[in-house]
Amino acid sequence: MANSKYEYVKAFEQPDVLLPDTWIVVRIDGRGFHKLTDRYGFQKPNDRRALDLMNAAAVEVMKDLPDLCIAYGVSDEYSFVFHPSCQLFERRSAKLVTTIVSTFTAHYIYQWGAHFPGTPLQPPYLPSFDGRAVVYPNARIFRDYMSWRQVDCHINNLYNTTFWTMVQQGGMSNTDAEQELKGTVSSDKNEILFQRFGINYNNEEEIYKKGSVVYRKYQLEEAKPAGEPETAASAVTTRDTQVSRSQQDKLKKLRRKAQVVVEHVDIIKDEFWDRRPWIISGKPGKLPDDV
């Protein structure tokens, strides 16, 4: 680019490179989905079509960005995770966040009609998402982040399921149901569901109870025997995250070969991570035999 007297304005741009060797989580969240879900008549408390659409968009984001190692979605939010070794966009925060937000939104809108046939999108109620990047210094804290989101999913879903059952099946007003649930703990809500409505919360669909986990599938490994102190999660060293450009390109190709799957499973316990060590290590595993 030719120099001009206007060139100096470039000095106003602020650097926003995220810390090296850290887990980058980009969490996106639907803007004003309270209104939007009302406008398009989403079922309460969970609309399967809406969750399937969120998951379909997330799968496309994962396919588009091989640097992503896992994503977790619940309600109108999705957390996308870049491995500490990620060098995409030189780890510039705004580039990473805006790419994820716009790619996700594009696919969400593109696939809307397939998931909500007969309910076309109409301005001003068009889906949009905000996003932010947060870095976590090690695998333990990154896993605590993921656990935090899944626990949140559980707490909200138990509350919402109980609340809407009391309203929809019990004929209570929103205010009365809210009043009765004030100060209750999980066991109280389980009891209300079971005693009054014959609903065993454990039998509710996993996608509602656990949220959605999206990752690249390789051959599962044996779970570690209980009591072994070191999980794969704590085994990443700085050395593991320093890889050359050509090595990175090779890994990218390998990642593109793997199938991206959506599962509704526990990510709080060690088992999920121990059986899928490639997520924490960043090193692709073996492709399943049938691929």
CB 124, min distance to ligand DGT, A? 14
Residue from 25, 27, 30, 70 touching Mg ion (CB under 5 A): that is 30
Helices (H) then strands (E): counts for the chain:
12, 6
Residue from 7, 16, 17, 32 touching ligand DGT (CB under 6 A): that is 32
Nearer to Mg ion, 159 or 197 (CB): 159
Nearer to ligand DGT, 99 or 160 (CB): 160
- The span from the CA of 247 to the CA of 50, in Å, is 38
- The span from the CA of 207 to the CA of 203, in Å, is 11
79 binds, among Mg ion, ligand DGT, none (CB under 5 to 8 A by kind): none
Tokens representing 191?
Answer: 């009891």
- The span from the CA of 206 to the CA of 225, in Å, is 26
Q: Is 274 in the site for Mg ion (CB under 5 A)?
A: no
Find the farthest-apart pair of alpha carbons in the chain and give their distance in angstroms, rounded. Answer: 76
Residues 32-51 that bind Mg ion (CB under 5 A): 33
Over the window 65 to 104, marking each residue x when it contacts ligand DGT by CB under 6 A and - when it does not, the resulting string is: ----------xx----------------------------
Q: Is 33 in the site for ligand DGT (CB under 6 A)?
A: yes
* Other beta carbons less than 10 A from residue 175's beta carbon: 8
Site stretch for Mg ion (CB under 5 A), options 31-39, 167-175, 227-235, 258-266: 31-39
* Other beta carbons less than 10 A from residue 144's beta carbon: 12
Q: Is 152 in the site for Mg ion (CB under 5 A)?
A: no
Q: Is 55 in the site for ligand DGT (CB under 6 A)?
A: no
Q: Is 124 in the site for ligand DGT (CB under 6 A)?
A: no
CB within 8 Å of 202: residues ≥ 6 apart: none
Nearer to ligand DGT, 30 or 277 (CB): 30
Contact 101, 28 (CB under 8 A): yes
CB within 8 Å of 32: residues ≥ 6 apart: none
CB 76, min distance to Mg ion, A? 4
Tokens representing 155?
Answer: 């707490």
- The footprint of ligand DGT on this chain (CB under 6 A) covers a number of residues equal to 15
- The span from the CA of 202 to the CA of 193, in Å, is 11
Residues engaged in binding ligand DGT (CB under 6 A): 29-34, 37, 42-44, 46-47, 50, 75-76
